[in-house]
C-alpha cells in the first residue's frame, strides 16, 4: 500500500511480462510494489508464475506452520499494490453488482470461568494511523498473513470471521494469488507480535478469491479468503473468536481499519488502526477510501462498520487493498457486494 516515490520506482522496474499482464483489465491490473520487493522477485524460470484460473488454490498446504519460524516471519517482505495510474482509465469503473444487504453477527470466544474482558484504553477517532492501544476481540481476530510468493517470503494481514466451518479468514485477493499463481506456505497468525504467535499459526487447507480477481486481477474485486486447518484440536473461531460481516451496505460509512503494516515507518510488529468516515473513490475504482497512513503489509487487514471499542467487535465491510502513488495517506478497499458475499459463502461452507 505504499504511495511514495519508492513505490513508483518499483512499478517502473517490473518486467515487461508483468507490464503486459496489467493490460488485462480496463483499469490496468495492479502490480506488487515496494523497491525491496521488486529487487527480491526472481526473474528466471524458477520464479515464473503458473497460470491457474480456478477460484481456489489447487491443493492443500501442509507443513506451513513449521516453515514460519520467528526469523522468517520477521524478515518477510510486505506485499503491496498501487492503484491505476492517471492514464489507466478515462472514467470511473462501473458499480460493483449489489444485492440484498446481509449482516453476520460477531462471535466472541468463551472466557475461562471467573475471568472478565479487559476495559479498552481510549482511542482517538478519527485516526489517520497509529498503534491500537485498546483491547477487545480485535487484538485476537486480526493477524498477519505469511506466504511464499514466487519463491520469496512475504506478508499481508487478515481477519478471522464468524463462519459455519469456524475456520474462515478474510484478506485481500492479492494476498492469496498474484501474477497468475497462488501463494504457498500460507498461514494466518492472529495476534502476531514481533515474531511471536500467541494464538498459533493456522495453515490454510485452501485459499480462494473472487472470480474477477482470479481471472484478471480486477482491483475492484481484490478480496481473498482462506480456510485453515484445526490447531491442537481446536478450530480458529473457537480459539480466537470471529468478527461479524456486512455486505451491500453502501458508502460513506464510519469505519475502523486495522492491519499490520511492515514498511516504513512501521515494522510489522504491532497492530495499527485508522478510523474515520469513508469516501467513494472519485477516480478509477468503486472502492471505499479512508484517510490512513498504513503501508505495505497491511493489505488484507479488515475494515469494520458498527465497530464497538469496548468489545473490539464490528462488521467487516472491506479489506485494505491499495493506494495511489499520487494520493498519499489514503487507503482504498473494495466494496463488499454480491461477489464478496459469494466468496464468503463458498469459504465458510468448505
- Domains: count for the chain: 1
| Cell representation of residue 299 | 493489505
First-residue to last-residue Cα distance in the chain: 30
- Please state the rounded mean pLDDT for residues 216-233: 97
CA distance 319 to 27: 19
How many whole angstroms separate alpha carbon 176 and alpha carbon 206? 10
Q: Which residues pair with residue 182 across a beta bridge?
A: 177
**% pLDDT > 70, the chain:** 73
Q: Is the pLDDT of residue 24 over 80?
A: no
Dihedral, 52, 334, 263, 259 alpha carbons, nearest 10: -110
CATH assignment at residue 262: 2.40.10.120
pLDDT of residue 18: 35
Residue numbers of the domain that contains 142: 5-348
The CA distance from 140 to 138, in Å, is 5
Q: How far apart are CA 59 and CA 344, in angstroms?
A: 19
Residue 116's CB is within 10 A of a number of other CB atoms, namely 6
- Asked whether residue 109 carries a pLDDT value surpassing 50, the answer given is yes
**CA distance linking residue 111 with residue 29, whole number of Å:** 45
Q: Give CA separation, 333 vs 153, 185, 298, 301, 318, in Å.
A: 24, 25, 11, 10, 6
Residue-level pLDDT at 194? 87
In tens, the pLDDT along 322-342 reads 999 899 899 999 999 999 999
pLDDT at residue 155, as a whole number: 97
As a whole number, mean pLDDT of residues 185-214 equals 96
Question: Which among 298, 244, 296, 292 has a CA at the least distance from the CA of 271?
Answer: 298
Q: Indicate the average pLDDT of the chain.
A: 81
Residue 183 is placed in which grid cell?
A: 501463494
> How, if at all, do strands 254-259 and 244-247 pair?
unpaired
316 vs 52 pLDDT, higher one: 316
CB 139 within 8 A of CB 312: yes
Amino acid at each position: 500500500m505504499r504511495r511514495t516515490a519508492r513505490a513508483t520506482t518499483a512499478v517502473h522496474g517490473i518486467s515487461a511480462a508483468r507490464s503486459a499482464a496489467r493490460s488485462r483489465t480496463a483499469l490496468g491490473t495492479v502490480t506488487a510494489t515496494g523497491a525491496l520487493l521488486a529487487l527480491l522477485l526472481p526473474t528466471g524460470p524458477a520464479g515464473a508464475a503458473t497460470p491457474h484460473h480456478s477460484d481456489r488454490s489447487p491443493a492443500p498446504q501442509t507443513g506451513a506452520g513449521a516453515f514460519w519460524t520467528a526469523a522468517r516471519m520477521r524478515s518477510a517482505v510486505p506485499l503491496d499494490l498501487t492503484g491505476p495510474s492517471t492514464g489507466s482509465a478515462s472514467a470511473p469503473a462501473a458499480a460493483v453488482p449489489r444485492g440484498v444487504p446481509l449482516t453476520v453477527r460477531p462471535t466472541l470466544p468463551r472466557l475461562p470461568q471467573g475471568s472478565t474482558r479487559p476495559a479498552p484504553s481510549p482511542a482517538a477517532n478519527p485516526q489517520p494511523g497509529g498503534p491500537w492501544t485498546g483491547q477487545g476481540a480485535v487484538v485476537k481476530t486480526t493477524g498477519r498473513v505469511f506466504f511464499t510468493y514466487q519463491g520469496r517470503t512475504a506478508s499481508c494481514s487478515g481477519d478471522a470471521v464468524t463462519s459455519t466451518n469456524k475456520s474462515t479468514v478474510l484478506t485481500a485477493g492479492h494476498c492469496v494469488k498474484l501474477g497468475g499463481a497462488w501463494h504457498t506456505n500460507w498461514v494466518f497468525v492472529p495476534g502476531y507480535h514481533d515474531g511471536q504467535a500467541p494464538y498459533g499459526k493456522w495453515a490454510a487447507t485452501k485459499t480462494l478469491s473472487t472470480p474477477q480477481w482470479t481471472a484478471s486481477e480486477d482491483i475492484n474485486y481484490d478480496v481473498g479468503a482462506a480456510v485453515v486447518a484445526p490447531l491442537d484440536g481446536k478450530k480458529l473461531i473457537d480459539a480466537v473468536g470471529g468478527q461479524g460481516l456486512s455486505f451491500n451496505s453502501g458508502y460513506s460509512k464510519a469505519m475502523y481499519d486495522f492491519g499490520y503494516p511492515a514498511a516504513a515507518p512501521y515494522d510489522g510488529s504491532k497492530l495499527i488502526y485508522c478510523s474515520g468516515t469513508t469516501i467513494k473513490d472519485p477516480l478509477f475504482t468503486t472502492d471505499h477510501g479512508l484517510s490512513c497512513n498504513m503501508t505495505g503489509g497491511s493489505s488484507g487487514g479488515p475494515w469494520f462498520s458498527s465497530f464497538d471499542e469496548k468489545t473490539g467487535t464490528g462488521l467487516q465491510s472491506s479489506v485494505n487493498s491499495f493506494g495511489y502513488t499520487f494520493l498519499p495517506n489514503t487507503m482504498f478497499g473494495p466494496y463488499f457486494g454480491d461477489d464478496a458475499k459469494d466468496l464468503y459463502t463458498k469459504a465458510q461452507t468448505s
